[in-house]
A = this chain, B = another copy of it.
Amino acid sequence: MNRTIRVFIAFLFAISTINAAEHPNLFLTPKGVQEIKSSLGKYPAFDKSLSELKAIADKALAEKIEVPVPKDGGGGYSHEKHKNNYYAMNAAGILFQISADKKYAVFVRDMLMKYAELYPTLPLHPIIKSEARGKLFWQTLNDAVWVVHAANAYDCVYNFISEKDRQLIEKNLFRPMAEFLSNGNPGNFETFNKMHNHGTWALSAVGMIGYTMGDKELVAKALYGSNKDGKSGFFRQLDMLFSPDGYYTEGPYYQRYAIWPFMTFAQVIQNQQPELNIFRYRDGILQKAVNTSLQCAYNGEFFELNDALDKTYATQEIIYAVDIAYKNNPANKQLLDIARLQNSYLVSEEGLSTAKAVAMENIPAFETKSTLLHDGAKGDEGGIAILRSGTDSKQSCLTFKATSHGLSHGHFDKLSMIFYDNGNCILPDYGSARFLNIEPKDGGGYTKENHTWATQTIAHNTVTVDGKSDFNGDIKMSSKYHSDLNYFNADNPEIQVVSAAEGNAYIGVKMNRTTAMITNKAFEYPLVLDIYSVKSDSVHQLDFPFYYKGQLVSTDFKYQKSTKELKALGTKNGYQHLWLEATGKTDKPIADFTFVQGNRFYSITTLANPATQFKMTRIGAGDPDFNLRNTTCFMIHQPNATTHTFVSVIEPHGLYDLTREVTENYDSNLSNLVLLRDDEAFSAVIISLKNGQKFLFITANKDFDESKIKTLVIKDKTISFKANYYFSEIQN
C-alpha cells in the first residue's frame, strides 16, 4: 500500500459518518457505503481504485469549475471539458459518501448549479452531424452519458444540497434534460424508444435521474417506453436487443459499450425495485450478455467486427459488467479471473464484493470456448460462430459471421471471417475507420471512409460479387435478411465446423461457406479448411480477399509487382480504396501464398484454375486525408464464374525466431488440395501433405440433421457418417 493510499484511509477513518436517509440509493447504498468504509485498507486493488477516483475528484476540486458553452466535436475543448466534468462529479459524489468530506459535496452542488444556469440558455449543439444532436455534446448520446454520471453524483450529495438548490437544479437542469432526452425533438423521441444502444443510454439516463428525483413517471417511461405500454423501454430492449444467447446484434464492440448502461441501470433497478428481479429477467439475459461479451474476444481483445476499434477487457464498461455480474451471481467464479486481470474495481458494493472474492476465493481460469452465438431476438437470425483450438494466449481462433445486418453499425460482410493465432491477429477485419475523440479526424466520429471503405464487402474476408457490396450496399435491404446457419459442431475439439448459407445478398446468387478448424498431430498447428461456393445461373465476377498482417515470404506462382506506378483497383464500392500492387496467375491446380507474422509462418493454399487471377493489394487509395490503415491483401479473382467453389487452407507453420536466429519450416506442409466432389448434397476435399499423409473432409450441403446417416461414394469407397461432416486420414 503506498503512502497516498495510507494517508487517505487514515483520513477516511478519522471523519465521522453522516446519515444518508433515502439517499444514496442509485448505485451506492448506505449499506454499501458502510461496507466500503469498513473494508478500507484490506484489499489493495480496491483501495487503488478508490484512490484513483479520489485523484480525479481532487484534481477537479483544485481547479476552477468551468462549464463552457458547447462548441466542439469529440476531442475538442468543450466536449472533453463536459466529459471531464461528469467524471469529476461522479468521483466527487462517491468520495463524499465515503469520506463525508463536505468539500466534495460542495463541488458537485456548485457544478450542478452552474449547469443549471447554462442549460436553459442552450440551443441544439452547433455541430450538425448527428440526426440526434445533443445540447452539451454534438450527439444526444453523450448528453445521456452525462446524465447517467450526474444522476449518480446528485444521488450521492442529494441530502447535502438545500431543498431550494435542489429545486433549482431539478427544474432548470435535470427535468429539462430528461424531457430533452426522451422527447426533446423527433430524433430524441425516436432514439429513446429505439432498439439501439443509444436508446439504452437515453432511458438509463432518464430512469436514473427519475429514481433520484423520485419521479415515478420518468422511471416508468424508462422501463416501459414513452407510452408506458412496454412496446419500448428497458424491458423491451432486454427482449429485443439480445439474442437468447445474449448476443447483441451490433456486434462485440457495441455489445461492450451497451453492456455499460444495461448493467448500470439494471443495478439501479435492483437497488430501487428489487422485486423486479431484473438480473433474472428473461432467464438471466444480462448475465448471459456479460458472458457472451467476454467470449467475443481473443486474448482479452474484442473481435473487431462491424464498426469497431481496439478495445479490451480493461475498459471501464467491462469493469462495470464484471463487477455487477459477479455481485448478482457469485456462482460465476470465472468472472473473478477477468476481474483479477483488470485489477480495477467499481467503488461500490459490487466492486468491493468482487475485489473481496478475488482476494479470497480459489479462482478458476476464464474459459474461452468454441461457441455459436445466435443472432436475433428469437435467436433465429443466423449467428456468429467462434472456433478455438487451445485455451491459452497462443490459441488458434476464428470468427465466422453469418448474422443479421447489425443495425446502423453493421457491415456488408455476410459469411466473413477473422483468424487469430499465436497471440496475433493474422487475417483481420478492418473494423471501423474512426479516430475516437481525435477532433481533427472528422470530429472524432466515423470518417467518410467508414462508409466508403470499412462497411463495404470488399473490405472483408468474404466473396464480393460483380464488384458490388452485399445488397448493393443498401442497409434497408440488408436489414431485412440474415444469413442461415447450416450447422455448427464443436463437439470434437479436433475438428470443429461451421457452415452457413447466404441467398439474398446478391440477386440470383447462392453462397455457401463451410469452415473447419482441424487439430491433428499431422499438422504443426491447427489448420483452417475453408470451402466457399458461389452458385448462379448467370456469369459473375468474384473477388475473394484474404487481408493479412505480416510480410510476404513466398508464393509458388509468378506475379508482377508494380514498381514505378500504382493504380487504384476500382472506382467504387470500396475498390477505390485498394492499391493494386501485384497480379499473378498459375498454371498449377493450387496456389500457395506464404507470409510471416510474429515468429510463425502462414500459408494460404487455394484451388486455382486457368481463369484464376491473384491480386495483391494494399489499402490506402482514395484516402485524401490519411484516414486508412494500410493493410495488405491476397485476393483471388475469378472473372467469369457461374458456379465456383473456392477451397483454401490457412496453415500456420514453422518458426521464425530472430532472437535465437532459428528458422524452421518456412514452406507450407501441403502438397495438394483436391475438391473431389462438390454438389448440392456434399463437398469433399482431400488435403495432401508433403510427408505423404492424406486427409479427407466431407461436408453436407443440405439436410443438416445430425441424427441422420449420410452416405456417399468417394473413390469407389462407400462412406457413411452421422453428423454433418466427415473427417479422416485416408490411404492412397
Identify the A interface with B (CB < 8 A): 74-75, 80, 83, 309-312, 314-316, 435-441, 444, 551-554, 560-561, 563-568, 576, 579, 581-582, 594, 596, 616, 618, 620-626, 629-630, 656, 658-664, 666
- Contact status of A553 and B440, CB under 8 A, knowing A564-B568, A565-B567, A567-B564: yes
A575 to B415, CA, bound (A): 42
In contact, B659 and A315 (Cβ under 8 angstroms): yes
- Contact status of A664 and B311, CB under 8 A, knowing A626-B552, A629-B551: no
Question: Could you write out 6 A-B pairs with CB less than 8 Å apart?
Answer: A74-B663, A436-B658, A437-B661, A440-B554, A563-B568, A566-B566
In contact, A75 and B563 (Cβ under 8 angstroms): no
Q: Specify which chain B residues have a CB less than 8 angstroms from the CB of A315 in the assembled complex.
A: 659-660
Nearest chain B CB to A494's CB is how many angstroms away? 26
A74 to B309, CA, bound (A): 40
Q: Specify which chain B residues have a CB less than 8 angstroms from the CB of A444 in the assembled complex.
A: 663
A623 to B562, CA, bound (A): 8
- Contact status of A75 and B567, CB under 8 A, knowing A435-B553, A623-B561, A658-B310: no
Nearest chain B CB to A321's CB is how many angstroms away? 14
In contact, A553 and B441 (Cβ under 8 angstroms): yes
In contact, A660 and B563 (Cβ under 8 angstroms): no
Q: Which residue of B lies closest to A563 (CB)?
A: B622
Q: Specify which chain B residues have a CB less than 8 angstroms from the CB of A551 in the assembled complex.
A: 435, 626, 629
Among the interface residues A310, A312, A567, A621, which one has the most CB atoms of the partner chain B within 10 A?
A621
A568 to B564, CA, bound (A): 5
Which of B80, B309, B565, B659 meets A314, CB within 8 Å? B659
Nearest chain B CB to A443's CB is how many angstroms away? 11
Q: 9 tightest CB-CB pairs across the interface, nearest first? A: A437-B663, A440-B554, A552-B626, A566-B566, A75-B663, A563-B622, A561-B624, A564-B568, A315-B659
In contact, A664 and B80 (Cβ under 8 angstroms): yes
A620 to B441, CA, bound (A): 26
A625 to B595, CA, bound (A): 12
In contact, B579 and A663 (Cβ under 8 angstroms): no
In contact, B623 and A563 (Cβ under 8 angstroms): yes
Nearest chain B CB to A382's CB is how many angstroms away? 30
Known A440-B666, A552-B626, A581-B620; 9 more pairs at CB < 8 Å = A74-B663, A435-B553, A436-B658, A436-B663, A437-B656, A551-B626, A560-B624, A563-B621, A565-B568
